[in-house]
Amino acid sequence: MTTSENRRVWFITGAATGLGRAIAEAAVEAGDQVVATDRDLAGLRSWVGDGVVPLALDVTDRESVDTAVAEAVTRFGRIDVLVNNAGYGVFGSLEELPDEQVRRQFETNTFGTWNVTKAVLPHLRARRSGHIVQMSSLDGVAPEAAGEAAYAGSKFAVEGISEVLAMEVAPLGIKVTIVEPGAVRTDFGSGAVTHPVGIADYDETVGTAISWFESLVGKQPNDPRKVAAAVLRAVDSPEPPLHLVLGPEAVKAVRDKLDAQRRELDAWAEVGATTAYPS
């Protein structure tokens, strides 16, 4: 039987809808306690029940982050699992995307993850335990189409940050898992910012990709509840993966990219070996 002493405390960002909500609900069903955070506090309160504490949090605002983390620790005494889920997508050609849209994309997806991780780390470090779950994307490993430079770039940055973070905190008993799902049937698509193609040279690449992306809304191949179950399985594991690729199409896409990258590496290895100083 689960007791208050062994119930984990989850701190989840972007939990009002979508994957954040699915992970929060799965954690509660597993008998854990959840601090569900989002800028949309009303959206949170519309669904939360027993075992869930809703808190307002804007991941781009360090004061908001620090306040929410402090309140969670005051209420429960600790945080066991951090899920950095808050994020959204900006799509359009690199040449045409307004700089301010790209900066907002990185402020939320990349620096928002940085802000919350930095605020929670002292509490995990003090207890020499905990698990940080970074919600990335297939696009953070193997971008699927043109028009994803801003979104994929923000997620590639999360990947690099998290890989180094894992090396820093492993000796402290803290685990890191980067979740890389394919398209999930949530409100992500309807909430994305899409910049229309204005330069005809990009019609066949970016224009086609955006049309495909828009047609996928409501038809994404992956179930958010199954993604949440996979996240809990990783957190439960004594040896969780650093990279967790989810979705059959995502597994294939990542494998294809790694295979192609290996072939390219081998083809150019002789050139790569020419740059060292003579021994």
- Selection from 170, 72, 73, 62 nearest residue 118 by Cα: 62
CA gap 182, 260 in Å, rounded: 19
| Token reading at 90 | 């900006």
- Selection from 28, 11, 6, 24 nearest residue 74 by Cα: 11
CB 255 within 8 A of CB 188: no
CA gap 42, 255 in Å, rounded: 41
User: Lowest mean pLDDT: which of 59-73, 160-174, 184-198, 230-244?
Assistant: 184-198
CA gap 112, 104 in Å, rounded: 10
- Mean pLDDT computed over 186-193: 85
- Selection from 30, 53, 120 nearest residue 82 by Cα: 120
Long-range CB contact pairs, 164-168, < 8 A, 24+: 165/117, 165/132, 166/242
Asked if 155 is an active-site residue, the reply is yes
pLDDT for 72 equals 98
CB 82 within 8 A of CB 135: no
The active-site residue out of 136, 137, 154, 162 is 136
pLDDT for 3 equals 43
Grade residue 233 by pLDDT with cuts at 50, 70 and 90. Answer: very high
pLDDT digits (tens, 9 = 90+) for 45-85: 999 888 999 999 999 999 999 999 999 999 999 999 999 99
- Exposure on the CB side of residue 195, measured as CA atoms within 13 A: 25
CA gap 111, 2 in Å, rounded: 36
Opening angle at CA 52, ends 128 and 82, nearest 5: 30
Asked if 237 is an active-site residue, the reply is no
Close Cβ partners of 216 (under 8 Å, ≥ 6 residues apart): 183, 189
pLDDT for 187 equals 84
Record: fold of 9-269: Rossmann fold (3.40.50)
Domain ranges of the chain: 9-269
Whether the per-residue pLDDT at 4 is higher than 60: the answer is no
| Token reading at 197 | 């193609």
Asked if 88 is an active-site residue, the reply is no
Grade residue 159 by pLDDT with cuts at 50, 70 and 90. Answer: very high
pTM of the predicted structure, to 2 decimals: 0.95
Whether the per-residue pLDDT at 5 is higher than 70: the answer is no
| Token reading at 116 | 């919350």
Under DSSP, the state recorded for 206 is: I
pLDDT for 66 equals 98
- Selection from 158, 136, 175, 147 nearest residue 254 by Cα: 136
pLDDT for 209 equals 95
The active-site residue out of 93, 137, 154, 155 is 155
Residue linked to tokens 């993850």 = 113
Close Cβ partners of 127 (under 8 Å, ≥ 6 residues apart): 78
The active-site residue out of 151, 162, 175, 202 is 151
- Mean pLDDT computed over 9-30: 97
Which of 2 and 130 is assigned the larger pLDDT? 130
CB 10 within 8 A of CB 27: yes
Spell out where the chain has E strands.
9-12, 33-38, 52-56, 81-84, 90-91, 130-135, 174-181, 193-194, 243-246
The pLDDT mean for the chain works out to 95
- Selection from 138, 172, 162, 147 nearest residue 253 by Cα: 138
- Mean pLDDT computed over 264-278: 96
3-state secondary structure of 109: helix
Please give the share of the chain, as a percent, with pLDDT higher than 90.
Answer: 89
Whether the per-residue pLDDT at 120 is higher than 70: the answer is yes
